[in-house]
Amino acid sequence: MALDAAIAETSDDGERGAKGNLRGALLMSLGMAAFIGNVTLMKLVSFDLTLFQAIFLRGCCAALVLGGFAWYRNELFVSLSGQDAKVLIIRVIGEIGASLCYFMALFNMPVANVTAILQALPLVVTLGAAVFLGETVGWRRYGGIALGFVGVLIIVQPGTDGFSVYSLWALASMLSVALRDLATRKISSGLPSLFVAFVTMVSVTLVCALLLPTMEWKEVTGDTVGLLMGAAVFIMLVHITLIRAMRVGEVAFVAPFRYTVMVWALLVGYFVFNEPPDAATLIGCSLLIATGLYSFWRER
For helices 193-211 and 82-106, the axis angle rounded to 10 degrees is: 50
Q: Looking at the domain assignment, is residue 8 inside a domain?
A: no
pLDDT at residue number 2 = 46
Q: Domains in the chain: how many in total?
A: 1
Q: Looking at the domain assignment, is residue 3 inside a domain?
A: no
Q: Looking at the domain assignment, is residue 9 inside a domain?
A: no
Q: How far is CA 187 from CA 80, 94, 111, in A?
A: 11, 14, 31
Cβ atoms of 21 and 188 closer than 8 Å: no
Domain of 130, in residue numbers: 19-299
Q: Looking at the domain assignment, is residue 159 inside a domain?
A: yes
Cβ atoms of 246 and 178 closer than 8 Å: no
pLDDT at residue number 118 = 86
Q: Looking at the domain assignment, is residue 23 inside a domain?
A: yes
Q: Looking at the domain assignment, is residue 173 inside a domain?
A: yes
pLDDT at residue number 185 = 78
Cβ–Cβ contacts within 10 Å for residue 201, how many?
A: 27
pTM: 0.80
pLDDT at residue number 235 = 86
Cβ atoms of 249 and 25 closer than 8 Å: yes
Alpha helices by DSSP H, 186-259: 193-211, 222-248, 251-254
Q: Looking at the domain assignment, is residue 6 inside a domain?
A: no
pLDDT at residue number 30 = 93
Question: Rounded CA gap, 184 and 51, in Å?
Answer: 26
Cβ atoms of 244 and 30 closer than 8 Å: no
Q: Residues of the chain whose pLDDT is less than 50?
A: 1-5, 7-14
HSE-CB of 217 using CA atoms within 13 angstroms: 7
Q: Looking at the domain assignment, is residue 118 inside a domain?
A: yes
pLDDT at residue number 200 = 93
